[in-house]
């Protein structure tokens, strides 16, 4: 069966509460556009010959013996990601493969589920192509990517095999096969973001990858796959086609061959049933399956038996075939040659453009920058996402209660309310809203809930300021404060002008007349701005000036009134 641009995913069996969700897609600006991909490919193809010579000199430092090379490291302190560009360049820019179209086989999945163990059989096959006995002798240890038995994780970050395998197809074209091993997901050192990022990077850069699902496909496995692929798709949002090429579920330790036989045939029948979408399903189940289908151009499945009790339990096992179950060896001989069949190796494509080894280096650089930035949302655990939604719902309920109560007091067309009385109502309704929030049962613990209570208090204060301004707008005096102040000033200067003219101070009378003219122009301008809505800055300046005059007059009156009271007390 054709396995075009295959991505094989290793999924493990986890409790439901360990499954993860992406809280929403948000408005993400970290897009890698179609033109961006074209530009990357163009840049990688337009390198000068001088650059090639200098790179060739760097490649002379390649180790003579093939082995795993760390290209992406994860910091244990701040959980940041770092790409070793020099190490990656030594692999992908080797003169014999740099311009060839690349096929990337990557293994990702749960830790301690045999990813590196399976990859090493692929390495053995690629070194022994054409040999019917490629599995090796019964007493031959398995070497390649580092692996061991036990419960502790072995691989960290992302590793590539240092040697790229040129494979010639029947039509004469030659492709470069790159093998990638990835850090196991859901160990005790990795955050949800670590797991999502490792999976996303491997999926975005690979065309063949193993994701090992232990014993069965459970619903939480599909939910994890949905999260990881969505996290990758966020960084490729402007891809016009399906973002990833092919997906293969490799189900390890399959225990029900009497229902679905081992291999591709049984896997296809089993997968059709698991990923089937019908109207009887809950909307959530339909969404997960539709999402997976929308991300990959082709999806397949292979059922693999258990490798044997000694493989799983012996601390001295080193990969000798004599300790491996015969059925497991039989199915390996069916899986790996089919997987790496030259005519079924699909080159890595992005937006319909085939990628060379040199181009893949540029894509690694671009993708790692996206995941090193802060533009992408943080994936959360099921508990954190539920606690956040729970607290946000409590905040919304409390705000709605405050809104309804305040609307009954001063909302809409209701008349003006005295500021002191309105503030008392605000204080009472705020306490009621906070009590409603506090009395709602919430998840996440007290410290987590306190952050949302602080958010609620800030939002209630914003709502209070809005109601205060709305109430003030209903005060007729405030609405006509500016024209009233201007009118009083016009009358005052008019009277002063008459007085100065009467006593013979014509110059002062002229100044007062000019002031009257300016104030009348200001009043007409203010009326025009209020009517037309134009020049709001000028209207604001007139309002502000009128407010200053009124404030100074009020202060002066209060001061004189206070002085009069003091004098009265002294005289008495």
Q: For position 155, what pLDDT does the model report?
A: 56
One DSSP character per residue, 351-404 reads TTEE-BHHHHHHHHHHHHHHHHSS-SPPPEEHHHHHHHHHHHHHHHHHHHHHHH
In 3D, which of 374, 107, 55, 136 has the Cα closest to residue 235?
Answer: 374
Quote the mean pLDDT of the chain. 78
pLDDT per residue of the chain (572 residues) written in tens, 0 to 9: 444 444 444 444 433 333 333 433 333 333 344 444 455 545 545 543 444 444 444 444 445 688 889 898 888 777 788 899 999 999 999 999 989 999 998 887 665 566 788 888 899 999 998 888 898 888 888 887 765 544 444 557 788 999 999 999 999 999 999 998 887 554 556 677 777 788 888 888 888 777 778 888 888 888 888 877 776 676 665 555 778 888 888 998 899 999 999 999 999 999 999 899 888 888 888 888 888 888 888 888 999 999 888 877 777 777 788 889 999 999 999 999 999 999 988 898 877 788 899 888 888 888 888 777 666 655 555 456 667 878 888 899 899 999 999 999 888 888 888 888 999 999 999 999 999 999 988 877 888 889 999 999 999 999 999 998 888 877 766 667 788 888 888 898 888 888 888 888 888 888 888 988 898 898 888 888 877 778 888 877 888 888 788 778 777 777 776 665 555 655 55
**pLDDT (tens digit, 9 = 90+) per residue, 102-139?**
999 888 766 556 678 888 889 999 999 888 889 888 88
Given a contact cutoff of 8 angstroms between Cβ atoms, the answer to whether 203 and 232 are in contact is yes
Interstrand relation of 244-252 and 8-9 (parallel, antiparallel or unpaired): parallel
Q: For residue 107, report the phi and psi dihedrals to the nearest 5 degrees.
A: -115, 125
The DSSP bridge pattern shows strands 68-74 and 81-83 to be: antiparallel
Contact 168, 354 (CB under 8 A): no
Nearest to residue 322, comparing CAs of 308, 333, 335, 312?
308
Residue 165 CA to residue 179 CA, distance in Å, equals: 9
How buried is residue 306: exposed, middle or buried, by Cβ count under 10 Å (0-12/13-18/19+)?
A: middle
User: What residues contact 360, with CB distance under 8 A and at least 6 apart?
Assistant: 92, 102, 104, 178, 205, 348
Residue 25 confidence (pLDDT):
36
Please give the pLDDT value at position 15. Answer: 36
87, 70 contact by CB (below 8 A): yes
Q: Which residues pair with 349 in a beta bridge?
A: 354
86 is written with which tokens? 């020099």
What per-residue confidence (pLDDT) applies to 90?
A: 92
Can you read off the two tokens belonging to residue 386?
């539920």
Residue count of the chain, please give it: 572
**Cα torsion angle, 124, 125, 131, 136, sign:** positive
Looking at residue 199, its pLDDT comes to 83
Torsion angle defined by CA atoms of residues 206, 209, 214 and 217, in that order, rounded to the nearest 10 degrees: 60
- The phi-psi region of residue 403 (left if phi > 0; otherwise alpha if psi is between -120 and 50; otherwise beta) is alpha
- What confidence score (pLDDT) does residue 377 get? 58
- Residue 66 in tokens: 């093939």
CA 311 to chain centroid: 39
What pLDDT, on a 0 to 100 scale, did the predictor assign at position 562?
A: 63
Q: Measuring CA to CA, which residue among 274, 277, 282 is closest to residue 217?
A: 274
Query: 318 with 141: CB under 8 angstroms?
Result: yes
| pLDDT attached to residue 560 | 72
């Amino acid at each position: 069966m054709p396995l075009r641009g295959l991505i094989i995913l290793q999924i493990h069996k986890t409790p439901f509460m360990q499954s993860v969700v992406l809280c929403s897609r948000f408005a993400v600006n970290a897009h890698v556009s179609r033109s961006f991909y074209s530009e990357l490919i163009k840049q990688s193809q337009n390198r000068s010959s001088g650059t090639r010579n200098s790179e060739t000199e760097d490649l002379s430092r390649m180790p003579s013996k093939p082995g795993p090379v760390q290209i992406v490291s994860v910091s244990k302190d701040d959980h940041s990601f770092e790409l070793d560009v020099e190490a990656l360049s030594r692999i992908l820019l080797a003169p014999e493969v740099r311009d060839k179209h690349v096929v990337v086989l990557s293994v990702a999945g749960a830790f301690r589920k045999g990813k590196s163990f399976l990859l090493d059989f692929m390495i053995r096959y690629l070194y022994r192509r054409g040999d019917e006995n490629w599995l090796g002798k019964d007493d031959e240890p398995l070497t390649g990517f580092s692996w061991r038995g036990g419960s502790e994780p072995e691989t960290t970050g992302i590793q590539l095999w240092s040697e790229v395998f040129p494979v010639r197809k029947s039509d004469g074209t030659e492709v470069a096969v790159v093998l990638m091993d990835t850090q196991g997901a859901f160990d005790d050192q990795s955050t949800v973001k670590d797991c999502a990022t490792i999976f996303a990077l491997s999926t975005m850069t690979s065309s063949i990858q193993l994701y090992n699902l232990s014993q069965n496909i459970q619903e939480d496995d599909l939910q994890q796959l949905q999260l990881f692929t969505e996290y990758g798709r966020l960084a490729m949002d402007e891809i016009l086609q399906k973002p990833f090429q092919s997906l293969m579920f490799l189900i390890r330790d399959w225990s029900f061959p009497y229902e679905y036989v081992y291999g591709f045939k049984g896997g296809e029948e089993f997968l059709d049933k698991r990923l089937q979408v019908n109207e009887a399903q809950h909307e959530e189940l339909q969404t997960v399956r539709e999402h997976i289908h929308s991300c990959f151009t082709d999806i397949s499945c292979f059922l693999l038996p258990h490798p044997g009790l000694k493989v799983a339990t012996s601390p001295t096992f080193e990969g000798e075939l004599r300790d491996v179950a015969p059925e497991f060896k039989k199915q390996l001989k069916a899986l790996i040659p089919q997987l790496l069949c030259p005519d079924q190796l699909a080159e890595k494509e992005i937006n319909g453009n085939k990628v060379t080894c040199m181009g893949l280096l540029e894509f690694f650089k671009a993708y790692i920058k996206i995941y090193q930035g802060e533009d992408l949302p943080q994936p959360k655990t099921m508990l954190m996402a539920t606690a956040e939604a729970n607290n946000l719902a409590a905040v919304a309920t409390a705000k709605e209660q405050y809104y309804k109560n305040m609307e009954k007091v001063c909302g809409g067309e209701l008349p003006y309310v005295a500021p002191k009385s309105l503030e008392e109502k605000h204080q009472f309704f705020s306490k009621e809203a906070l009590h409603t929030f506090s009395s709602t049962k919430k998840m996440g613990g007290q410290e987590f809930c306190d952050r949302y209570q602080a958010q609620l208090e800030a939002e209630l204060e914003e709502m209070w300021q809005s109601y205060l301004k709305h109430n003030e707008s209903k005060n007729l005096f405030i609405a006509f404060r500016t024209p009233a102040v201007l009118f009083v000033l016009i009358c005052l200067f008019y009277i002063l002008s008459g007085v100065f003219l009467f006593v013979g101070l014509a110059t002062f009378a002229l100044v007062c007349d000019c002031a009257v003219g300016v104030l009348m122009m200001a009043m007409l301008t203010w009326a025009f701005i209020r009517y037309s809505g134009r020049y709001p800055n000028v209207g604001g300046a007139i309002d502000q000036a009128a407010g200053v005059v009124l404030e100074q007059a009020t202060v002066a009156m209060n001061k004189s009134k206070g002085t009069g009271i003091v004098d009265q007390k002294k005289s008495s």
